Amino acid sequence: MKTLLTTAELDVFCQEARRHPYVTIDTEFLRERTYYSKLCLIQMAFAGEGEENAVLIDPIEGDVSLEPLYDLFRDTSVVKVFHAARQDLEIFFFDGAVLPTPLFDTQVAAMVCGFGEQVGYETLVKKICKDQVDKSSRFTDWSRRPLTDAQKSYALADVTHLRQIYEYLDAQLKKSGRRKWVEEEIETLLSPETYVVRPEDAWKRVKTRTQSGKFMAVVQKLAEFREAYAQERNVPRSRVYKDDALLELASTKPRNEKDLGRSRLLLREARKGEIAEGILAAVSAGMAVEPEDAPKPDRSREKLQVNPALADLLRVLLKAKAEESGVAQKMIASSADLDAISAGERDLPALRGWRAEVFGDTALKMCDGGIALAAKGGKVRIVAL
């Protein structure tokens, strides 16, 4: 197996990859001690057998600029194939401000092709390649050097099997005419908005039990400071303070470091210095916000007048349509979506695009009384009224 350690070597491989219709790509990274993922290894392969056309790129041990790879990402004549691409793409987006096009995600394609919910790579290797993946190196520290032969073999297998998986799924999509379905899903992965986290919006991820204006204003300012601090220092947000400490601070509203010292949940290192100053400034800023200007959680779904009987019928219809189409249920609609449809909501992904074709149009007919469901043996039949 070949490991590339220089930019020139990577450029040669990428130039060769451009002569092929697709290239498979995967990464190994660490994120436990940083805000942004630390890239430890890149694996790539283009069409062929075995490991002959596959390489490892080592950004830690080598002196490698990834610009040749990013140029390949911009080459629209070559399909870039990943499995469960989101975290890999996030790394490349923040490092090189680039996203690979065209993109093919085998996890998305597999769900469209009837392999179930969030299907794992090992499952596809077993079902499509009739092989097994050695999992022994999965949870190793990929930042340590030298890499063992076992680690290298494990990493390379992530892209060599992926060639056969891609070719199989691509053929299935051509046969079924569902390529457009996958392209619709991949649009989200290719949107920069998928990867940008704005500190001013960080409060939306914090689960609260109250809608008090002052409380929510302080939560917003504390979450904004934590996110900005974590991004600037490249540390996990939990290393600044965890959500339970944030909510405690929003309740107690400390005015000085002495007040911070009384916190039960705040980390010791957050009770003084820059973090303490940031906390006190955030609390002060939150207290200055007028109640009517405070952020308000989206409670619209909680106010929906759900029709339980109709929601249950929609669940039965979804199951029947998912089985009929061979598409994972959760990919078509969530349980919350079904409740929303039963309550009269119509601006939902489940009612647009390919989902409307598979499920949404029929669901609306049921809501309007145009169809009914009947059971025959183990099958659910749709009956026009």
205-259: per-residue pLDDT in tens? 999 988 788 999 999 999 999 999 999 999 999 999 999 999 999 999 999 999 9
Tell me whether residue 295 is in a domain: no
pLDDT value at residue 34 = 96
Residue environment code for 12-41, b if the CB has 16+ CB neighbours within 10 A, otherwise e: ebbeebeebebbbbbbbbeeeeebebbbbb
pLDDT category at 302 given cuts 50, 70, 90 is: low
DSSP per-residue codes, 333-381: --HHHHHHHHTT---SGGGSHHHIIIIIHHHHHHHTTSEEEEEETTEEE
For residues 219 and 268, membership in a common domain is answered with yes
Mean pLDDT of 312-317: 96
> For residue 10, which of 64, 75, 80 has the smallest C-alpha distance?
64
For residues 90 and 173, membership in a common domain is answered with yes
For residues 164 and 211, membership in a common domain is answered with no
- Please say whether the beta carbons of 197 and 232 come within 8 A: no
For residues 43 and 105, membership in a common domain is answered with yes
Q: 266: helix, coil or strand?
A: coil
Residue 326: exposure state from Cβ atoms within 10 A (0-12, 13-18, ≥19): middle
pLDDT category at 303 given cuts 50, 70, 90 is: low
Question: Among 227, 254, 288, where does a domain finish?
Answer: 288
For residues 70 and 131, membership in a common domain is answered with yes
Tell me whether residue 293 is in a domain: no
**The domain that contains 21 carries what CATH number?**
3.30.420.10
* Domain, as residue range, for 41: 2-194
Q: How far apart are CA 249 and CA 281, in angstroms?
A: 12
Angle, CA 135 vertex, CA 131 and CA 141 arms, to 5°: 145
For residues 125 and 258, membership in a common domain is answered with no
Question: Among 251, 267, 288, where does a domain finish?
Answer: 288
- Please say whether the beta carbons of 320 and 380 come within 8 A: yes
Residue 278 has pLDDT above 80, yes or no: yes
Q: Give every CB contact of residue 293 below 8 A, 6+ residues apart in sequence.
A: 217
Tell me whether residue 296 is in a domain: no
For residues 254 and 119, membership in a common domain is answered with no
Q: How many beta carbons lie within 10 A of that of residue 203, not counting itself? A: 23
Tell me whether residue 46 is in a domain: yes
Please tell me the total count of domains within the chain.
3
Tell me whether residue 210 is in a domain: yes
**The domain that contains 252 carries what CATH number?**
1.10.150.80
Residue 357: exposure state from Cβ atoms within 10 A (0-12, 13-18, ≥19): middle
Q: 38: helix, coil or strand?
A: strand
β-pair type (79-82, 103-105): parallel
What does pLDDT average to over the chain? 93
Tell me whether residue 252 is in a domain: yes
Tell me whether residue 336 is in a domain: yes
Tell me whether residue 169 is in a domain: yes
pLDDT value at residue 299 = 65
For residues 356 and 320, membership in a common domain is answered with yes
